[in-house]
Amino acid sequence: MKPYYLDYASTTPIDKRVLSEMIPYLKERYHNPSSMHLSAIANKKAINEAREKVARAIGATPKEILFTSGGTEAINFAIKGFALKHPNKKVIITTAIEHKATLKTVAFLETLGYQAIYLSADKEGFIDLEELNNHLNEDTLMVSIVYANNEIGTVQDVEAIIRMCHEKKIVVHLDAVQAFGQIPIDVKALDVDLMTLSSHKFYGPKGVGALYVKTGIELEPIIHGGSHENNLRAGTENLSGIIGMGKAAELVIAELASIQKHYRELQADFHARMIETFPDVKLIGAPLGEKRSFNHLSYSFTGIKGHELHYQLAKLGISVSTGSACSANEITPSHVVQAIHLEEERQPCVIRITFGKYSKLKDHPQIIRLFQKAITELKA
């Protein structure tokens, strides 16, 4: 049975060129970068080169990049680190459709006396800029927004959000974990203050991420120990992971135009086949175009349950998701599905399909046939 992987938003396979770059640092170049002998110093230099690659990929300077263990830690670092460094303001604005890393971080800060405001989203997953503007005032500590939603693919108007917040001198954090690798990002043009990335979302290794911190933005460390990462993030560096992330970021920039073209072709073709084959299917999130992730399709069906369809497809060799990877074991409608007020009869079955650079257009007819088989069996 041929496998069909349609869950690239959950994780991507590591690019062979990335792995090749990492291997020496897992074998003969294993030395601790914080040591003072020559091999260690060479490894510290390699980390700095990787930092330059990540910085170059988003238009930052190397000193504005802090390496973390992944996107979740980077989000925690951005929100908690800024909150703890600036305790005089206690209001954090975010949305009801954020990744759980953001929602649970903000919820934790609420237990420390912070106030959270959760902006609503419309049926396509867009926040109301007027609602945001009405909540911005002198008590607002920061605004944290997901750039491209991991569950429904909607891409927020982050330029307008940042501009609106900066008019009132309010710091903005962008969760760009799903955006980088699909959307060209220039942090200087955006003028964003804090931004998170995760390596394994763009064909790099798992266990490594990065936090962009604009020059002048101050954070309190949330991991204490040694002087790593400019005294802001203690712990021996994930040497091979950082090297891999740097190479993966370098490849994104070199190949972004061709990857975008490939994603658009896959998305348009698959969507056309889905709506032709299944009369009751509904696309969730923004319509295809610039306001939706190019590799992302999220559908709801009626009369069946999402976790059952997920299981039937898995038996046929198709890997999809019923929501974000972090909530894959839940069988209740996700917080995002509920927040966009999807019709109640459609909430039990939402399936996310996400493509990658190794996805093939020629596989679509067979994948659609397998979808038909799975749904027919469930409705029998």
DSSP structure string for 184-206: ---HHHHT-SEEEEEGGGTTS-S
What distance in Å separates the CA atoms of residue 307 and residue 105, rounded to the nearest whole number? 27
Q: How far apart are CA 188 and CA 173, in angstroms?
A: 14
Instruction: In whole angstroms, give the CA distance from residue 196 to residue 105.
Output: 14
Q: For the chain, which ranges sit under pLDDT 50?
A: 324-327
> Residue 268 is which amino acid?
A
pLDDT of residue 289: 95
**CB environment 289-306: b (16+ within 10 A), e (fewer):** eebbbbbbbbbbbeebeb
pLDDT attached to residue 327: 47
Could you identify the residue written with the tokens 């902006």?
Answer: 119
Q: Given strand 282-283, what is the order of strands in its sheet?
A: 282-283, 296-300, 350-354
Q: Per residue in 69-97, pLDDT tens?
A: 999 999 999 999 999 999 999 999 999 99
Q: Which domains does the chain have, with CATH numbers?
A: 4-12+256-379 (3.90.1150.10), 16-251 (3.40.640.10)
Please count the residues of the chain: 380
Token pair of 57, please? Answer: 């990929």
Question: Distance (Å, rounded) from C-alpha 254 to C-alpha 352?
Answer: 28
Give dist(CA 351, CA 285) in Å, integer.
Answer: 12
Separation between Cα atoms, residue 323 and residue 17, nearest integer Å: 30
Q: Distance between terminal CA atoms of the chain? A: 23
326 is catalytic: yes
Q: What are phi and psi of 119, to 5 degrees?
A: -70, 145
d(C-alpha 212, C-alpha 246), whole Å: 14
**Active-site residue among 26, 183, 234, 326?**
326
Q: Residue 40's pLDDT is what?
A: 83
Residues paired with residue 93 on neighbouring β-strands, in sequence order = 117, 143
Q: d(Cα 253, Cα 53) in Å, to the nearest integer?
A: 10
3-state secondary structure of 20: helix
Q: How far is CA 214 from the centre of its chain?
A: 19
Report residue 143: phi and psi, to 5°. -125, 130
Chain centroid, CA 100 distance in Å: 11
pLDDT score for 243: 98
